[in-house]
Amino acid sequence: MHANLNANCMLNWGLVKKTPHTGHIEVDFLIGDPSVADNLSDSKVLDSIVYCWNPPPLDFFKMNVDGAVSSVGMVAGIGGILRDWNRVTLTSFSVNVGPNTPILAEMKAIKKGIDIFVSSVWASKGRLIIESDSKIAVEWIKDQISVPVYLSNFVKEIASTVSLNQIIIRWIPRCCNCEADKLAKEGIG
């Protein structure tokens, strides 16, 4: 087991292939060099996988985003935090977006995170990875077939920006998204 696990990491039992040199492979390394997976052998399997926030590969930036909705009045907040490959926090946001459904708050957090990055100086220095703990939001952006009609134009706009800017969007477990969750809750007020 890794000695450097922190409280934000989650242990999930399953199968993980490991590299011959390090005994494990991090998904982020596959983004920068997919050929890393070519060195994996089917016979090399671990009993567990560890989920925690990992920095992006060199020349990538990672924006973790989240939406939160209060139980009273459905008031929503959105939050996000942008970090580089050295784990340096570059910017963050925490915004009250008024009455919203949970999924709409998640979508607004993703859009806000993308908009901040695309209009920043960092956009010319590397690519963006957006991480959200909303599986539905991530799935809708990747494939709009099941998006409700009332959200279809909004989701298509986000998907278009993702495609145009070659943004990577992916789901992560909630335990890996603690900072963004805290910012979203602060946005509620």
**Tally of structural domains, the chain:** 2
**What is the chain written as a DSSP string?**
--TT--TT-EEEEEEEE--TTTS---HHHHHH-GGGGGG--TT-EEEEEEE---PPPTTEEEEEEEEEE-TTTTEEEEEEEEEETT--EEEEEEEEEEE--HHHHHHHHHHHHHHHHHTSGGGGT-EEEEEES-HHHHHHHH-GGG--HHHHHHHHHHHHHHHHTT-EEEE--GGG-HHHHHHHHHHH-
In a domain, residue 100? The reply is: yes
Query: Are 92 and 137 contained in the same domain?
Result: yes
In a domain, residue 2? The reply is: no
Comparing 179 with 26, which gets the higher pLDDT?
Answer: 179
Q: What is the pLDDT of residues 27-62, one digit of tens each?
A: 544 444 444 444 544 444 444 454 678 899 999 999
Query: Are 74 and 42 contained in the same domain?
Result: no
| Mean pLDDT calculated for residue range 70-80 | 90
The parent domain of residue 16 ranges over 10-51
In a domain, residue 1? The reply is: no
What is the value of pTM for the model shown? 0.75
Residue 189: the pLDDT is: 86
Q: What is the pLDDT of residues 122-140, one digit of tens each?
A: 999 999 999 999 999 999 9
In a domain, residue 5? The reply is: no
